[in-house]
Structure 1
Amino acid sequence: MGEAGCDVRDIEEAANILVNARHAIAFTGAGISTESGIPDFRGPQGLWKQYSPEIATIDYFLQHPKEFWLFYRMRMSTLFTAKPNRAHRALAELESMGVIKAVITQNVDGLHQAAGSKNVIELHGTMRRAVCIACGRAYPMDVVTRKIDSGQVPPLCDECGGVLKPDTVLFGEPVKDFDRARELAMISDAVLVVGSSLTVYPAAYIPLFVKEMGGKVIIINMEPTELDYIADVNIRCKAGDAMEKLLEKIIEMRKQGTTVTQ
């Protein structure tokens, strides 16, 4: 369905919801970054088709820090060369226009900020830095990769000698800033979901919170999601295509001062 292009009526309906929203937010997952060359997790070519999800658990990290870091070093080579794509840039533009108030993301790649988004909540942390599990000192990830590439695997803290861990949320760890994200969702009357399979909780509660408070839910995803049944609009095409068309339609509607009749 995605190859045939985005449905014009779906784009118009989504644009109408966002233009008329008082407080709209975006919720993004790995599917928004695939056009940047970062594989998603659960899609047909997803990371968990090639590797066991066990490697991304806190237990695995604590028991096998060397093997964990060798896997993450490989992943970082992709993440650090990735650039924001059309979907990231369109979301950043919608935020600058005041259409989107915040981006809540499951991603750890930092591409929303690189695209210009200002108000970003990273529920699963970031791979742009690491922290010492003993003393909490933070290190930029380029410093950590130099440690690894020089043979220090796992990388260690200069202060106390503790093992460093990416500042990402591993399976078995609590998400970050969830209370702030929930508060935003509870005051929002629309949520634009882009590139999330909506299977990982508690992150996937965000669109549910918006729906439960009477808000509208727009889902852009190539594959069906677990929460399609709550969506007011389902757009089944590539994130970049959908976001470009959605941005164009919203700009057009604002210029005309019109909305689409629902």
Structure 2
Amino acid sequence: MTARHPDAATLEAVADLVAGGRVCVLTGAGMSTESGIPDYRGPDGTRRVTPMTYGEFVASTDARRRYWSRAHVGWRRFAASAPNAGHRVVAALQREGFTCGLVTQNVDGLHQEAGASDVLELHGTLGLVRCLTCEDRIPRAVMEQQLDALNPGFAGGVRTGEIRPDGDVTLAEADVAAFVLPTCRVCGADTLKPDVVYFGEPVPKDRVARAYEAVDASRLLLVLGSSLKVMSGYRFVRHSHKAGRPVAIVTRGRTRGDDEATWRLDAGLGESLVGLARLLGLTDDFGEVVDGEYATGLPLGLT
């Protein structure tokens, strides 16, 4: 496929909106694909992998063993992922005062690594582990030390498949069965779970309320790298559209929010955001743009 770049007219229109400030940025999994973390869905919106649901995780020790064995092996690769040019542009937009809020559906912490602050992590973070029985929380690094102690050599000694969007990998069933689960340091239960919102689990109400506050304080909602297939992100697009605020969406492929978008740029995020930064006069070294496959822009006109 021949690489096509972001549509210049559409990008300029989005830049004109961003230049006015008070931008609420909403990011999704496409924000991190250029960092090597895959998305759950392809450009056509079709789900490529089926994640473990909350119901499955809480149903049995075997399900938790399956999750943690795969997550333990995948963690080293996942944790080694670094912010990409898009993350650095978003941090620069915040630093230069263009934004009034940064809400992410991602759980990888790459916005913070790129220098962003006050990031509202709508779906939580893989950097913390929570006990579902007593609510104790520990850093993921502590959990990984426990897993290493209980399963010496496991992370480097099993054959794996590709890393998945939530940081785990595929493993042989025999390897999963041999894995030893840790227990909570406070209550002794084996109900330790990454402090993230699983599929089938509600987003905490206070986070949703804070996200609405950020959206309501804005004059533009800028959606980056989200197909908006799930309501947790799409509701903010609907909310902004209903309030008469412009919505700009930059991501590959169609999204659920296309009909509510004021401007729609169907393109990869790296080149698009670096181009946006240049139009705004930002001269930082945002780094190499990894992805070279871009589609054309789709200006939908002001609504």
Q: How many angstroms does 1:121 deviate by?
A: 0.7
Show the counterpart of 2:3. 3
Measure the CA separation in 2 of the matches of 1:52 and 1:202: 18
Deviates more, 1:229-238 or 1:91-100: 229-238
Show the counterpart of 2:50. 52
Equivalent positions of 1:1-262 (< 5 A) are: 3-21=3-21, 23-43=22-42, 48-49=47-48, 51-53=49-51, 55=52, 57-62=53-58, 63=60, 64-151=63-150, 153-162=180-189, 163-176=191-204, 177-251=207-281
Q: How many angstroms does 1:73 deviate by?
A: 2.4
Q: How many angstroms does 1:183 deviate by?
A: 1.7
Over residues 129-187 of structure 1, what are the superposed CA-to-partner deviations in whole Å (9 max), with x where a residue is unaligned? 10111211111111111222333643221121122110000112111301110122123
State the TM-score, normalized to the length of structure 1: 0.89
Residue pair 1:188, 1:210 contacting (<8 A) in 2 also = no
- AA partner of residue 109 (structure 1): D
User: Secondary structure at 1:202's aligned position in 2?
Assistant: helix
Q: How many angstroms does 1:2 deviate by?
A: 8.8
Query: CA 1:126–1:228 in 2, change beyond 3 Å: closer, same or farther?
Result: same
Show the counterpart of 2:170. none
Measure the CA separation in 1 of the matches of 2:184 and 2:139: 12
Q: How many angstroms does 1:77 deviate by?
A: 2.9
Deviates more, 1:70-79 or 1:114-123: 70-79
**Percentage of matched positions with identical amino acids:** 35
Measure the CA separation in 2 of the matches of 1:34 and 1:228: 21
Q: How many angstroms does 1:217 deviate by?
A: 0.8
Measure the CA separation in 2 of the matches of 1:118 and 1:52: 31
Q: How many angstroms does 1:34 deviate by?
A: 0.4
Q: How many angstroms does 1:58 deviate by?
A: 1.1
Q: How many angstroms does 1:46 deviate by?
A: 9.4
Query: CA 1:212–1:125 in 2, change beyond 3 Å: closer, same or farther?
Result: same
Q: How many angstroms does 1:126 deviate by?
A: 0.2
Residue pair 2:45, 2:255 contacting (<8 A) in 1 also = no
Choose between structure 1 and 2: higher helix proportion.
1
- AA partner of residue 136 (structure 2): R
Q: How many angstroms does 1:13 deviate by?
A: 0.2
- AA partner of residue 174 (structure 1): P
Number of paired residues? 249
Q: Runs (4+) of structure 1 moved beyond 4 Å?
A: 44-48
Over residues 10-31 of structure 1, what are the superposed CA-to-partner deviations in whole Å (9 max), with x where a residue is unaligned? 111001011124x211000000
Query: CA 1:120–1:94 in 2, change beyond 3 Å: closer, same or farther?
Result: same
Aligned-residue RMSD, C-alpha: 2.1
